[in-house]
Amino acid sequence: MSEEIILDIKNLQTVFRDEDSEVRAVDGVSFSLPKGKTLGVVGESGSGKSVTALSILRLIDHPGKVEGGEINFKGKDLTKISDKEMRSIRGNQISMIFQEPMTSLNPVYTIGQQIRETLKVHQGLGKQSGNEKSVELLKLVGIPSPEDRIKQYPHELSGGMRQRVMIAIALACNPELLIADEPTTALDVTIQAQILELINRLQDEMGMSVIMITHDMGVVAETCDYVAVMYGGKVVEYADVKTLFKDPKHPYTVGLLNSIPRHDIDVDELEPIRGSVPSPKDMPKGCRFASRCPFATDLCVEELPSLDEIEDGNEVRCWIYSDRWDGDPEVKEHGPKRTS
């Protein structure tokens, strides 16, 4: 990859510990994001997507802790900088929007107060100029009559409107990186499309880089340039979006793709992945997908495969692509099949 890399995560370890249990929610995640591009982070619920995102901004709450790895943002390791420096990055150079638009705004302050707050802390804008800028931002995210809206409280707005407000807050200081953690999951289907379109449009206009977290392959297809597929706290496949859809390598990725409805296949043929995500409290020692993988061998159960680059820019964590593969040679030859 010749492009400038804005975010490069290496072997991130985020662990939740209490007296008698240890949850390795993110266990050695690595991926990178070229400037101005969108990286999709996909995976079923519980695969560690949100924890990865919160780790980037150092927003992991007690008892969670980033215990290892590097998060290089514009060449600076975010795990090493001071709290003060981290605060100057949050909401300014890196912003985040969350999955829960209904509860992510403070119920006791007006929309205007909540936007102005960010403008004040990072740009020192006062009430007057802060209000003008807030109105501008609300206009930008497509909220009608913004002059009235800034005086309203969150409960007076619908979920879609609140998510737009969250986006306005996130964009207030022209961030270089926007992390969107399932920004549309809690919204109606029609609103979902509008919000995604809005994020796409603003990214083009402002030249931001975006991390789009989702469990929906459809969203990935529509918005992303690169994709990191996560399973059980690890990245199992990293590819550009074209390669991923055309030639998925990891059996889990194939499973995800087979379970999205497509107009060219009959709904009856949809194949949801059988079984469920292993509990992070007792992760299998081998490949974490082994219990659900149709190709699993003894090697898969015994030993964890590493994330290796098998083609230019295409990384996969699966024994099929190694010299030690001891299963069906047919699979190695043609790869795990997609239904279609």
Ligand X SMILES: Nc1ncnc2c1ncn2[C@@H]1O[C@H](COP(=O)(O)OP(=O)(O)O)[C@@H](O)[C@H]1O
Q: Name the site residues for ligand SF4 (rule: CB under 6 A).
A: 250-251, 287, 289-290, 293, 295-296, 300, 305, 318-320
Residue showing tokens 């008892």? 63
Q: Which is nearer to Mg ion, 50 or 314 (CB)?
A: 50
- In the structure encoding, which two tokens stand for residue 196, read together? 């995604």
Amino acid at 12: L
Choices 45-53, 61-69, 88-96, 224-232; region in contact with Mg ion by CB under 5 A? 45-53
CB atoms within 10 A of CB 168: 27
Instruction: Single out the residue of 47, 55, 184, 192 in contact with ligand X (rule: CB under 6 A).
Output: 47
- Sole binder of Mg ion in the list 38, 47, 50, 113 (CB under 5 A): 50
CB of 280 to ligand X, least distance (A): 5
Peptide bond into 294 cis (omega under 30): no
Binding of ligand X by 40 (CB under 6 A): no
Shortest distance in whole angstroms from residue 229 CB to Mg ion: 15
Nearest distance, CB of residue 252 and ligand SF4, angstroms: 6
Tell me how far, at minimum, the Cβ of 24 lies from ligand SF4, in Å. Answer: 18
Full strand arrangement of the beta sheet holding 38-42: 94-97, 177-181, 209-214, 38-42, 226-231, 234-240, 314-316, 308-311
Integer CA distances (angstroms), 191 to 141, 155, 186, 197, in order: 13, 18, 10, 10
**234 near 284, Cβ under 8 Å?**
no
Contact (Cβ atoms closer than 8 angstroms) between residue 255 and residue 338: no
Contacted by 23, from Mg ion, ligand SF4, ligand X, none: CB < 5 to 8 Å by type: ligand X
Q: How far apart are CA 328 and CA 297, in angstroms?
A: 9
Nearer to ligand X, 48 or 146 (CB): 48
CA separation for the pair 186, 184 (Å, rounded): 6
Size, binding site for another protein by CB under 8 A: 28
Q: Are strands 38-42 and 209-214 parallel, antiparallel or unpaired?
A: parallel
Q: Does 214 bind ligand X (CB under 6 A)?
A: no
The contact mask relative to another protein for 133-162 (x = CB under 8 A, - = no) is: --------------------x-x-------
Which of residues 28 and 48 has its CB atom nearest to ligand X in the complex?
Answer: 48
| Assigned token pair, 255 | 């499973």
DSSP state string for 290-329: GGG-TT--HHHHHSPPP-EEEETTEEE--GGGSTT--S-H
CB of 182 to Mg ion, least distance (A): 6
Stretch that binds another protein, among 6-14, 105-113, 225-233, 260-268 (CB under 8 A): 105-113
Answer yes or no whether residue 164 interacts with another protein by CB under 8 A.
no
Tell me the window of 83-91, 211-219, 229-237, 319-327 that interacts with another protein (CB under 8 A): 83-91
Q: How far is the CB of 304 from ligand SF4 (least distance, A)?
A: 8
For position 25 contacting ligand X by CB under 6 A, the verdict is yes
Using CB under 5 A as the criterion, which residues of the chain lie in contact with Mg ion when the complex forms? 50
